[in-house]
């Protein structure tokens, strides 16, 4: 049995994967965000890398001098925790940049209230499943080729069997790489033949 | 460039609950450190959310830019180091220097047997027939 700590698809290793930016440079993306008045959204379906991209942008925003304030909503946790939000509203200023992951969890009314209260902030970047609430900074998408790259990074190489499994899992999960990589974890934990050549 | 090192006395890799863990920490940093401390903690690795708990910390008084200090921790009774398919629990001591935030760590096993507990073996040993 493969120990969890040795599983190449353990969370820690997935978090360490770098985001693959396509069609634009990091500088170009930051310029685009500035041109949007530092108000924008990262749009894409579940498992398309929006959260990973937010994480990759965070140190770059800090380098630009922003005080980054992170908020996260999920299906399991669709409401803000009051202490965190009270603190945010209390001292929000132009040096603050709010990153809200999971903005689709807010209904229309709560979204409008949130937007109004974030006006003093120097910036607001949200993630959404569908475009609409703020101008789109970038649309995140996945492809079998991207999955091949990620799996090759994690396994050290991509065998023909692993490539076949990627195609099958990509189709089964409709391009949701989070689910695909979870399946890979289980596959490695079980030591199935998918890792063989 | 900052350099931090931490080690356990005689490179002991496994301890029993309640045992004393002794080690040494050394560092060379580019600016006067605000604080340097060792942390005894465990964390989980595997599928899903990771968990971490700092069990004890020891701050060094008046740390210099280049320095070396001994440290010791009395280890708790639990949790034991273990690994299953979904989760591993790993013990470690870590050296952290501020304000740089640089860190170094060394892992060890905490277990009454002196070995990491492997859940599938434990299950096989207790299953009837």
| pLDDT for the residue numbered A85 | 82
Six token digits for residue A37: 């008045």
**Under a CB-based contact definition with an 8 Å cutoff, are residues A138 and A36 in contact?**
no
| Contact residues on chain A for B49, CB-CB shorter than 8 A | 11
Query: By C-alpha distance, which of A65, A72, A135 is closest to A106?
Result: A72
Query: Is residue B16 left, alpha or beta, with left meaning phi > 0 and alpha meaning psi from -120 to 50?
Result: beta
Alpha-carbon distance of B87 to B28, in angstroms, equals: 35
Instruction: Residue window 3-42, chain A: list those with CB within 8 Å of chain B.
Output: 3-5, 7, 9-12
Total residue length of chain A? 197
pLDDT score of B126: 63
Task: State the average pLDDT over residues A77-94.
Answer: 87
CB count within 10 Å of CB B12 equals 14
Ordered by start, the domain boundaries in chain A are 36-139, 142-195
Nearest to B87 among A1, A4, A182 (CB): A4
User: For the segment A42-54, what is each residue's pLDDT rounded down to a tens digit?
Assistant: 999 999 999 999 9
Q: In this structure, what token pair is assigned to residue B122?
A: 């434990």
**CATH topology for the B3-126 domain:** Immunoglobulin-like (2.60.40)
Are A131 and A141 a contacting pair, CB within 8 Å? no
Ordered alpha helix ranges (H), A37-159: 50-63, 82-90, 108-117, 144-155
Q: Percent of chain A beyond pLDDT 90? A: 89
CATH top-level class for A36-139?
alpha beta
Q: How far apart are the first and last CA of chain B?
A: 59
Mean pLDDT in each 10-residue stretch from start to end of chain B (129 residues)? 94 97 96 95 93 96 96 97 96 95 96 93 64
ipTM: 0.81
Residue A18: burial class (beta carbons within 10 Å; 0-12, 13-18, 19+) = exposed
Mean pLDDT of A164-171: 97
Measured between CA atoms, how close is A21 to chain B, in angstroms?
25
Query: What would the pLDDT profile of A14-31 be if each residue is shown by its tens digit?
Result: 999 999 999 999 999 999
What is the per-residue pLDDT for B1?
Answer: 78
- Cα dist from A6 to A10, A98, A155, A180, B86, whole Å: 8, 35, 11, 19, 11
Residue among B44, B53, B60, B94 at smallest CA distance from B76: B53
Q: Which residue has the tokens 């609950």?
A: B17
The CA distance from A139 to the nearest CA of chain B, in Å, is 26
- pLDDT score of A82 more than 80: no
Looking at residue B62, what is its pLDDT?
Answer: 95
């Amino acid at each position: 049995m493969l120990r969890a700590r040795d599983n190449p698809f353990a969370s820690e290793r997935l978090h360490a994967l770098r985001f693959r930016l396509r069609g634009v440079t990091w500088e170009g993306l930051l310029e685009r965000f500035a041109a949007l008045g530092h108000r924008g959204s990262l749009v894409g379906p579940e498992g398309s890398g929006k959260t990973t991209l937010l994480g990759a942008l965070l140190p770059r925003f800090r380098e630009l001098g922003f005080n980054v304030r992170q908020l996260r909503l999920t299906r399991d946790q669709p409401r803000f925790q009051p202490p965190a939000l009270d603190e945010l509203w209390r001292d929000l200023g132009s040096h603050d940049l709010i990153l809200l992951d999971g903005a689709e969890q807010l209904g229309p009314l709560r979204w409008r209230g949130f937007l109004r209260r974030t006006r003093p902030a120097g910036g607001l970047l949200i993630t959404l499943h569908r475009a609409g609430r703020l101008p789109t900074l970038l649309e995140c998408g996945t492809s079998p080729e991207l999955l091949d790259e990620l799996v090759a990074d994690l396994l050290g190489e991509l065998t023909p069997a692993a490539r076949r499994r990627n195609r099958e899992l990509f189709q089964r999960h409709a391009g949701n790489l989070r689910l695909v990589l979870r399946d890979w974890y289980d596959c490695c934990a079980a030591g199935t033949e998918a890792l063989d050549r | 460039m900052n350099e931090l090192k931490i080690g356990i006395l005689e490179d002991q890799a496994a301890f029993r609950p309640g045992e004393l863990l002794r080690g040494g920490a050394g560092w060379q940093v580019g600016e006067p450190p605000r604080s340097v401390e060792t942390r005894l903690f465990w964390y989980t690795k595997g599928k899903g959310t990771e968990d971490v708990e700092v069990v004890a910390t020891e701050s060094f008084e008046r740390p210099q830019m280049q320095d070396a200090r001994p440290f010791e921790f009395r280890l708790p009774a639990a949790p034991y180091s273990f690994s299953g398919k979904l989760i591993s629990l790993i013990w470690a001591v870590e050296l952290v220097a501020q304000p740089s935030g640089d860190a170094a760590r060394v892992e060890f096993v905490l277990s009454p047997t002196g070995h990491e507990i492997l859940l599938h073996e434990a299950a096989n040993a207790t299953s009837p027939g």
